[in-house]
Amino acid sequence: MVQTNLSDRCGLIKPSPTLAMTAKAREMKVAGLDVISFAAGEPDFNTPEPIIAAAKQALDDGFTKYAPSKGHPTLVEAIQRKVKRENKFSAEANQIVVSCGAKHSVYNALQVLLNPGDEVILFAPFWMTYADQVALAGGQIVVIPTDVENNFCPHPDQIKAAITPRTKAIICNTPSNPTGGAWDRNLIKEVAAIALRHNLTIISDEIYERITYDHNHTSFASLSKDVAEQTITILGVSKTYAMTGWRVGFTVSSPHIAAAMANLQDQVTSNATTFAQIGAAAALDSDPSLVQGMIDSFTNRRSLGLDLIRQIPGCSVNDPKGAFYFFINVEPHLKGSISNDITLANHLLETAHIATVPGSVFYAPGHLRLSYATSPDQITEGITRLKNTLADLS
């Protein structure tokens, strides 16, 4: 059969290894194998019932038609209240664009910002989607490495040294996927000052903002009006409210950037699902206690997992300040036939039946990412299997 020639653009993107590992683990479970998956990047809790009820009511009330591409007014108003109350900055309606998830929001931002050859600074380890989306927009990534000694936070001098005449934007993800590292207010102020000095746009991905441990989250846009005007804040409901499948995210930016993103979205997806937006509005207006139990569970799982991982000879791990991931250095175990983290991740799935994500996916070879969005029993059993398998390889 003759195959249709695909565009060069298709060669710029790669399948998501996280989704691929999750899918493979699911297939093994269906086949009857006792697989423990640490691969998924989503809470294992159900969406809280009041949010589901609000979406059901929206269906009954006829919220099944098109909405404005940039967002239904009910959700836009809830976003305005949310960012003022929680993120400590104000937003007008013309600064907000609701999209089909935070991933879509990042895509919109890069598409309206970048011209061919423009550079975007990223801090490794980072979520691989950033790199592919920069490439799709015609840009080039400039990678700044970070290390566990600084809890995977960059040093301002690294940023200054990486800036060139082609630098257009900096993507900041705090709390971070995959490391759980979180930037303190002083670092955010220093990075913001550099961005202002060099007229760089800050793309601030704050999707894990509410899932933190002994850390007070600071939004770039809360620092000053000048910083807010040069920041595209990426937010959403997926992680905080266990709503990953609802596909609702949003941006807050300057009016001219927001207008460009809304125009782009007009020709791509139009509006995010209307009744899902009503559910998202209910989430944003809900009392914080609605999800505190979930966050408390993550806190306990984090403590459990850290204790277990630190009992594995040859492995080290940082203290995640947010999100729900362990980012484990397994470098001492990579030798012989298991010479890299990708081979190790595959070996763990095939022999120990635990699904992890190799650090190379995040531009950090020699590591494994484990999500602790699973039960304490699964965490205990899974990390025990990891320990035993690594011991067998020694």
Residue 100 DSSP one-character state: S
How far apart CA 336 and CA 104 sit, in angstroms, is 41
Closest to 357 measured CA to CA, from 128, 43, 107: 128
How far apart CA 166 and CA 287 sit, in angstroms, is 44
- Count CB atoms within 10 A of the CB of residue 393: 17
- Count CB atoms within 10 A of the CB of residue 292: 11
Residue 313 DSSP one-character state: T
Question: Which residues are 235's β-sheet partners?
Answer: 250
> CB–CB of 234/170 below 8 Å?
no
Q: What is the pLDDT of residue 294?
A: 98
Q: What is the pLDDT of residue 18?
A: 77
Please, where are the H alpha helices in the chain?
17-30, 49-60, 73-82, 102-113, 128-136, 156-162, 185-197, 225-229, 255-266, 274-284, 289-309, 341-347, 376-393
Classify residue 272 by burial, with Cβ atoms within 10 Å: 0-12, 13-18, 19+. Answer: buried
In sequence order, the 6+-apart residues with CB closer than 8 A to the CB of 324 are: 43, 180, 211, 298, 301, 302, 371, 372, 373
Strand order in the sheet with 367-371: 316-317, 325-329, 367-371, 357-358
The CATH number for 61-284, chosen from 3.40.640.10, 1.10.490.130, 3.30.750.24, 3.30.70.20, is 3.40.640.10
**pLDDT tens by residue, 171-225:** 999 999 999 999 999 999 999 999 999 999 999 999 999 999 989 999 999 999 9
Q: What is the pLDDT of residue 140?
A: 98
Q: What is the pLDDT of residue 111?
A: 99
Question: Which residues are 325's β-sheet partners?
Answer: 371
- Count CB atoms within 10 A of the CB of residue 392: 9
How far apart CA 167 and CA 158 sit, in angstroms, is 14
The model scores a pTM over 0.85 = yes
Q: What is the pLDDT of residue 2?
A: 83
Coil, helix or strand for 220?
helix
Q: What is the pLDDT of residue 19?
A: 79
**Residues of the chain under the 50 pLDDT cut:** none
Query: Can you name the CATH fold of 8-46+289-393?
Result: Aspartate Aminotransferase, domain 1 (3.90.1150)
Write down the domain spans for the chain: 8-46+289-393, 61-284
E strand or H helix at 369, and its extent?
strand 367-371
**pLDDT tens by residue, 58-102:** 999 999 999 999 999 999 999 999 999 999 999 999 999 999 999
